[in-house]
A = this chain, B = another copy of it.
Amino acid sequence: MISIVLIGTGNVARHLLDTFRLYQEIRVVQVLGRNEKNLAYFREFSKTSSDFEKLLPADLYIIAVSDDAIPSVSQLIRNKNGIVVHTSGSVSLDVLSKYDHRGVFYPLQTFSKERKIDFKNVPICLESNQREDMELLKTLAHHISEQVYEISFQQRRSLHLAAVFVNNFTNHLYQIGNRICEENKVSFDILEPLILETAHKIKDLSPHDAQTGPAKRGDKRTIKQHMEVLGNSGYRKIYELLSQSIEREYSEWIENPYLPDRGIEKK
């Protein structure tokens, strides 16, 4: 059995608890958080505390707090033998350097309170500097997920950056689509099948091959019409920049699309 103390009460901590408690082999012995109100949810399934002096012994301390809070929170884990890990995609393992046993347990997914997540499909990205610690992290990860990866900080950081594009920014594009629908009194629901197909398409086609639309076709008339509709809004700038970037992707003169060379020309 693996005993765990969860530190933090946000979305990641909540989803981890909801998953861990499904497995007999995993026991969340305590949840620690400074926010008493947020602790309420966890009290049903585990001991809780807001006092780091009362930290219980465990095999693993999982720090699931915002990136900025990791350094200070990690200072508060004292006189304990378990492995200390954080769950961030963009923070180095070094931030935990005061612990001999340290690691990273990064679940690559978007977590909202209102959506249940099946962890079986959540990639877990692991890092540790000691072989035996990595073994314990792997054992834990394989219990809850079918996708477990041992990756370097550089790789994790770049996955996190890519995730910002495919998740955060994509969701913002949905938001813009939603607003355009609202303005014109059509239901955003009409776009749902398109949104789902766009996502599922990448299972069969590379994004490069899946691209469609006016910018890909070089259809200047439609692009001009769309820009006029968007007027001087911030959305117009987004439309223009992304259309230019797509045109550039499919213009033949790009021999080497290597990232740092892909400057977009000013108009």
Binding site for B on A (CB under 8 A): 11, 66-68, 90, 108-112, 114-115, 117, 121-123, 125, 147, 149, 151, 154-155, 157-159, 161-181, 183-186, 188, 190-217, 219, 221-222, 225-226, 229-235, 237-239, 241-242, 244-246, 248-249, 257-264
Contact = CB atoms under 8 A, between A and B. Distances in A.
Nearest to A11: B212
29 contacts: A67-B219, A115-B197, A122-B193, A147-B190, A147-B193, A158-B183, A161-B226, A162-B191, A165-B174, A167-B213, A168-B212, A169-B239, A170-B170, A170-B198, A171-B201, A172-B242, A172-B245, A174-B207, A174-B210, A175-B211, A175-B249, A179-B259, A192-B203, A196-B199, A231-B260, A233-B261, A234-B244, A237-B264, A238-B245
Total identical chains: 2
A109 B210 CA distance: 13
Nearest to A210: B171
Contacts of A154: 184
A174 B210 CA distance: 10
A260 B237 contact: no
Contacts of A190: 108, 123, 125, 147, 149, 159
Contact of A166 (B166, B191, B219): B191
A170 B197 CA distance: 11
A137 B231 CA distance: 34
Contact of A208 (B108, B175, B198): B175
B212 A175 contact: no
Contacts of A67: 219, 221-222
B168 A170 contact: no
4 smallest beta-carbon distances between A and B, as pairs:
A168-B213, A234-B264, A199-B199, A158-B184
A241 B158 CA distance: 19
B234 A168 contact: no
Contacts of A209: 112, 114
A175 to B, nearest CB: 4
Contacts of A197: 109-110, 115, 117
A186 B201 contact: no
Contacts of A226: 90, 161, 164
Contacts of A230: 161, 259
A180 B158 contact: yes
A262 B183 CA distance: 13
A239 B259 CA distance: 13
